[in-house]
């Protein structure tokens, strides 16, 4: 069984002012409060509030429906053209297409992540096994692997 990691995001309140200068923060509409102005949260809807420590009844609703979203998972199709002609020719190609998900900006590796390029096509390939990877250029730790023999 493959587990899917829960993605976490940082939610930070900035430019606080007024009152005593000491604040508490809530992401659940005031059910719970914390002293830190930063939350680590998964995607979801949050009711963000801030209150004055000196007067807990004095609070403001920063955003009652703050949405934290995540991009769709990476996906893509790998197509190839086999080497043709004489033995040891290097005229094969690999193309990654129909790429979706992530931030919309992608990088490709044709050697297992040893080097990355923004070019979705690799040409002048000899026969062999290629470890094709696709990653989100804005989040290099987000990638998928598409190994196959050519």
Specify whether 140 is located in the same domain as 80.
Answer: yes
The residues with which 95 forms a beta bridge, in sequence order, are 79, 121
Predicted structure pTM score: 0.60
Q: For the domain that residue 116 is a member of, what is the CATH number?
A: 2.60.40
CA atoms of 35 and 27, how far apart (whole Å) = 12
Nearest to 137 by CA among 117, 110, 113: 117
**Structural domain contains residue 59:** yes
Specify whether 82 is located in the same domain as 140.
Answer: yes
**Structural domain contains residue 43:** yes
Q: Are 99 and 61 in contact (CB under 8 A)?
A: no
The predicted structure's pLDDT at residue 145: 81
Total tally of structural domains belonging to the chain: 2
As averages over each run of 10 residues, the pLDDT of the chain (150 residues) reads 56 90 96 95 93 95 92 88 91 93 92 94 93 89 68
The residues with which 122 forms a beta bridge, in sequence order, are 94
The predicted structure's pLDDT at residue 69: 83
CA atoms of 82 and 90, how far apart (whole Å) = 10
CA atoms of 41 and 39, how far apart (whole Å) = 6
Locate tokens 């719970």: which residue? 32
**Structural domain contains residue 2:** no
Specify whether 80 is located in the same domain as 63.
Answer: no
The predicted structure's pLDDT at residue 2: 39
What is the rounded radius of gyration, in angstroms, for the C-alpha atoms of the chain? 24
Q: Order of strands across the sheet with 139-149?
A: 106-109, 129-136, 139-149
What are the tokens at 129?
A: 């096994």
**Structural domain contains residue 4:** no
**Structural domain contains residue 1:** no
Specify whether 59 is located in the same domain as 85.
Answer: no
Specify whether 144 is located in the same domain as 87.
Answer: yes
The predicted structure's pLDDT at residue 72: 84
From residue 51, how far is each of 12, 19, 20, 87 by CA, in Å?
Answer: 15, 9, 10, 74
Structural domain of 145 = 75-149
Specify whether 86 is located in the same domain as 52.
Answer: no
């Amino acid at each position: 069984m493959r587990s899917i990691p829960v993605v976490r995001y940082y939610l930070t309140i900035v430019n606080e002012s007024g009152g005593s200068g000491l604040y508490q923060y809530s992401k659940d509409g005031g059910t719970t409060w914390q002293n830190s102005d930063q939350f680590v949260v998964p995607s979801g809807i949050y009711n963000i509030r801030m209150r004055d420590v000196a007067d807990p009844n004095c609070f403001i609703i920063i955003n009652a429906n703050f949405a934290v979203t995540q991009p769709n998972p990476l996906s893509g199709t790998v197509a190839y053209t086999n080497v043709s002609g004489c033995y040891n020719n290097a005229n094969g190609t690999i193309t990654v297409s129909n790429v979706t998900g992530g931030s919309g900006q992608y990088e490709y590796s044709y050697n297992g992540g040893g080097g990355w390029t923004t070019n979705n096509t690799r040409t002048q390939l000899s026969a062999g096994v290629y470890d094709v990877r696709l990653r989100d250029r804005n989040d290099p730790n987000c990638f998928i692997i598409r190994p196959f023999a050519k």
